[in-house]
Amino acid sequence: MPLTLTPLPKNVGKESCSSPYTRHPNVVFGGKSENMVKSFVAAVFCLAAISSTGCGAPKDTAASSSPSGASSAPAKDAAKKDGPASEKPAEKKAEAKATKIEQIGLSAMLPEGATVMKGMDATSAMVSTDATAVTLSVAKDTDPKTVEQGKDGALLGDKGRGLKGDKTADGWIVTWENTGSMGDNYWLTMRREIGGKGYMCETTQSKEAQRKAAIEVCNSLKP
């Protein structure tokens, strides 16, 4: 049976998902099954409306309800603020305190954990810290008394170098280096006069920093 449709107004399909033919007086369906035809036409216009307008649903609903990047930005800012996880604060140097060295009757500034052991005789001690090790002793008559004697007693060997001798406010210090089977050696012989009595500080280390730390221990000696 023939179906005759009249042109639609320009605003058709913009109001809802219903067919404009249900309200247009010039539609002629030519016979029976008018309700079926009306339903078919309504479905066609609804599909057309969905494809063009989303059937009345706002286009930006999804975007407004779940903004992209809203949760990622604070996380990035927090990461920058906290800094790298592997970054660690610098370790503080162990605080030194006056420690009595019974073998020589003096005190030395030593860090926590330092050990003091008896030396070669009753008037000498071996002091060990994380930074160095040094032998402290009461000077004997056979020990060098002047900086020149200290330099003469340096065990330079075949590969000795860098021999230096300097006077200090209360004594002198002699340093030199040589190379042995285990590598470089940094030597120290130091004498101090404290309370009218001589004291010796001696060590051999594998690094310059260790020798400097031994000099610090010797310079800290007090009655």
Query: Hey, what are 128's tokens?
Result: 């060990």
The CA distances from residue 222 to 14, 104, 192, 195, 218, in Å, are: 100, 11, 11, 9, 9
pTM of this prediction exceeds 0.75:
no
Q: State residue 87's pLDDT score.
A: 58
Q: State residue 89's pLDDT score.
A: 63
Is residue 205, in this structure, part of any structural domain at all?
yes
Query: Radius of gyration over alpha carbons of the chain, in Å?
Result: 48
Domain count, the chain: 2
Q: Is 53 in the same domain as 100? A: no
Q: State residue 117's pLDDT score.
A: 97
pLDDT of 92-147, one tens digit each? 667 899 999 999 999 999 999 999 999 999 999 999 999 999 999 999 999 999 99
Q: Is 110 in the same domain as 164? A: yes
> What is the extent of the structural domain holding 147?
96-219
Q: Is 41 in the same domain as 150? A: no
pLDDT of 10-51, one tens digit each? 444 444 444 444 444 444 444 444 454 455 445 444 444 444
